[in-house]
Amino acid sequence: MQEWLTMTACDLGRGIGKGQIDPVELTETYLAAIDAHPHRDRIYACVTHDRARSEAKAAKERAALGLRRSLLDGVPISWKDLFDTAGIGTEAGSALLKGRVPDADALVLRNATAMGTVCLGKTHMSELAFSGLGLNPITDTPPCVDDEDAVPGGSSSGAGASVAWGLAACGIGSDTGGSVRIPAAWNNLVGLKTTAGRLSLEGVVPLCLRFDTVGPLARSVEDAAHMLALLEGGTPADLRGASLKGRRFAELQNVAKDDLRDAPRQAFDDALDRLRDAGAEIVPLEVPELHDAMALSGVLYTTEAYGLWKDVIEASPEAMYPEILERFRAGKDVSGPDYVAAWSKLKACRAAWDAATAGFDAVLAPTAPILPPNLDRLLSDHDYYVTENLLALRNTRIGNLMGLAALTLPTGTAGCGLMMLGYPGSEEALLRLGSAAETALA
Q: Which domains does the chain have, with CATH numbers?
A: 2-232 (3.90.1300.10), 248-295+326-441 (3.90.1300.10)
Distance CA 357, CA 339 (A): 27
Residue 409's nearest CA partner among 241, 206, 249, 212 is: 249
179 is an active site residue:
yes
The contacts of residue 62 (CB under 8 Å, 6+ apart) are 68, 69, 73, 74, 116
243 is an active site residue:
no
pLDDT for the residue 1 = 85
Catalytic residue among 179, 297, 426, 435: 179
3-state secondary structure of 74: coil
> In percent, how much of the chain has pLDDT > 90?
99
Q: From residue 141, how far is each of 134, 153, 375, 419 by CA, in Å?
A: 6, 10, 9, 25
Mean residue pLDDT across the chain: 98
Catalytic residue among 126, 155, 297, 435: 155
Classify residue 89 as exposed, middle or buried by CB count within 10 Å of its CB (0-12, 13-18, 19+).
Answer: middle
Catalytic residue among 60, 70, 80, 220: 80
β strands within 266-405, DSSP E = 281-285, 362-366
pLDDT for the residue 124 = 98
pLDDT for the residue 400 = 98
Distance CA 83, CA 291 (A): 33
pLDDT, tens digit, 9 for 90 and up, residues 284-333: 999 999 999 999 999 999 999 999 999 999 999 999 999 999 999 999 99
pLDDT, tens digit, 9 for 90 and up, residues 326-378: 999 999 999 999 999 999 999 999 999 999 999 999 999 999 999 999 999 99
70 is an active site residue:
no
Q: From residue 104, how far is each of 90, 109, 192, 201, 207 by CA, in Å?
A: 11, 10, 25, 13, 20
Is residue 195 within 8 Å of residue 403, measured between CB atoms?
A: yes
Residue 212's nearest CA partner among 92, 330, 325 is: 92
pLDDT, tens digit, 9 for 90 and up, residues 182-233: 999 999 999 999 999 999 999 999 999 999 999 999 999 999 999 999 999 9
pTM of the predicted protein model: 0.98
pLDDT, tens digit, 9 for 90 and up, residues 35-90: 999 999 999 999 999 999 999 999 999 999 999 999 999 999 999 999 999 999 99
pLDDT for the residue 102 = 98
Give the CA angle between residues 126, 220, 240 to the nearest 5°: 140
Q: What is the mean pLDDT of residues 241-268?
A: 97
The contacts of residue 220 (CB under 8 Å, 6+ apart) are 8, 9, 10, 190, 438
